[in-house]
Structure 1
Amino acid sequence: MTEYKRYVVKRGDWYHFQRAVPAAYKSVDRRRWVRQALKTRDFAEAVVRAGEVNRRVSAYWASLVKSGSAHSNDRYRAAIDLASVFGIEYRPFSEVIQLPAAEFVQRANILAKNDPENPAHFKAIFGTEDKPRIKMSALLAEYEKIAKDETTGKNADQLRVWRNPRKRAVANWIKVVSDCHIDDITQYQTLDFRDWWLERIEVDNLKPGSANKDLSHLNKMHRVVCKFHRIDHIKPFQDTYFSEGIEGEKYPFSRDWIETRILPGIASMNDEARALLMIVASTGARPSEPARAPNEKFRLDADIPHLIIEPDDKVKIKTKYSKRIVPLCGSALDGARLLVGLKKRRYMEKTSSLSAAVNKYLSDHNLRETPNHSFYSLRHTFQDGLTALDVPDRMQTELMGHKFDRPVYGTGPTLEHKKTVIEKLAFYS
């Protein structure tokens, strides 16, 4: 504490703090001297208190410099820090004007005593600094600045290893959802991201732990950055992890729930999403498969109406095993007719928007059997139906688009044979 002795001066019997404003801060602090009574006659105590005052003054100057930054994140953080220097908590203006009269007057008095013409002071005390708008693409960089304890002491290679899984999680989110602002993320988008991972676990035979790493990194970075910048959020990644079992968690709807709740309850859903849900319910297809299929892949005038799932110049499929022909029966046939009759289809290139829209509708209309059920759960219902019917493994893989693990002989099940199975599992109005 001896370095603070030079800031201690005696006036009469009492000690005071006195420090000249450094040249580096004269542009933001117009005073020549910073003076404050230390309220003690004991020199040793005065030195201790001078150190405390000096820390607050130094934080004040640093905050003033930040408040002039071109970066909105720095300005917002500066307002929070300045409020702390003044001994109050930073609150948005919408909250400040609702404070009890005594607390509001207290803030006004603080401003009156601390250079009221300085706009940075007003913003800090009355909460008028704009909140930062941080996009997902900037989340990792912002997190690194805040959580320095996680990277301190790491060499270049260790930093690369630390960053890579977090960069991958952010890149996956942007690819599946969008490069949205972190305060705009909804639980529907998180469910959509979870559905995307669920499909990857199933198709690519991945472990749930891979998905959980993404969800864990995104959850922590989002939570820490929002907390640091005082950004309100709804904890969108909470309760989204997969169990670490071999196959991961699956939440099939009960057939009764689909028949009596979902299908009768989607009348007000937008036509394209409703049509695709109807198709998925009675075919077990991945939602992206009928969503991306052009109209000519729906053969509705054939003796057995069907959907051809195959790649072309515009359409990608998950794996070579996804290529197949699926009969359309019951709600799937009705949905296909509705789909091909639409003048415009919005989800062909934006299947993530499809899942988000359907999941939001299911939530808003109380059509989730449990909070863990989602659009993709319809596919698990279909798979359970195949198991309940004791459908042979090869037929199951042909209908679900899975890999058949034994040597393949012959041409496989015919369209007629597939139809006899799907007719038993389709939903009819």
Structure 2
Amino acid sequence: MTRLQPKPVIGFLLNPIGQHAKGIEYRDSQLCVSARPSRKIHLNDIDSAPLVTHKLLGSEITIRCDDGHGTTLKGANRRCATEFAKTIEADWIAHNTERFEGSRSSIDAVLMAIAELEAPTRYPSACLVHPVAEQARHLDESLIAKLPMAAIGEDAHRQARTIQHFARNAGQIRSRAISTFEQQQLANSGIVTDKRQSLYSLRHWFQDQLTKRDVVDRAQAQLMGHKFQRPKYGYGKDLVELREIVAQFAISA
């Protein structure tokens, strides 16, 4: 148990009506504040490390909570206030780091999946990415968003931010992964040698091949998936006829 209290006379002069804490006792990861009204603060509730300010009539310590309220004790001994703050800060960091590390298996799984999306070796389909995004959102909402980032160390902080970014931008990250995967596949196939070209370039190439072979407009529209901008009579070419057209310039796998 650790206790901090103001100097007897100085404490009364700085806090005559008991507006601020008359004493703070720390035990079992909880601060018991003697004030009007008294309150208990768990390490979970602390938003930032205790702030100690040294003044002419004694030291002042302020502990801020995640609900926007704080507790201040004035007129404490300089050395006692500093040591008390260091004790609280060390335990606060250890407590929050333990909370973060308690979900290490889930955190590592999400981070591994995110890393794979940066250099995908398989198509990043929705059925693969969606469960990871849901897991990232759950970690963000149930743990990361409730943790003071200053209390978990630089490495953990960076990991937490990576998960939060993915949880909030999974769609965009998947789109980039798809583009990266497609570009890799095209480069490996040897079909496309110009880095400025993409998978969509194949549609332009396909259209050019149809035009060079004087394929009628309606059949071009069928093969390109476009609307046929003329009155529609009949059903156009059947699948066998369309296949024969494409077979003229099919690319060998």
Under TM normalisation by the shorter chain, which class is it? 0.3 to 0.5
**Larger Rg belongs to:** 2
Q: Kindly indicate which of the two structures has a greater share of residues assigned to strand.
A: 2
Q: Report the TM-score when normalising by structure 2.
A: 0.40
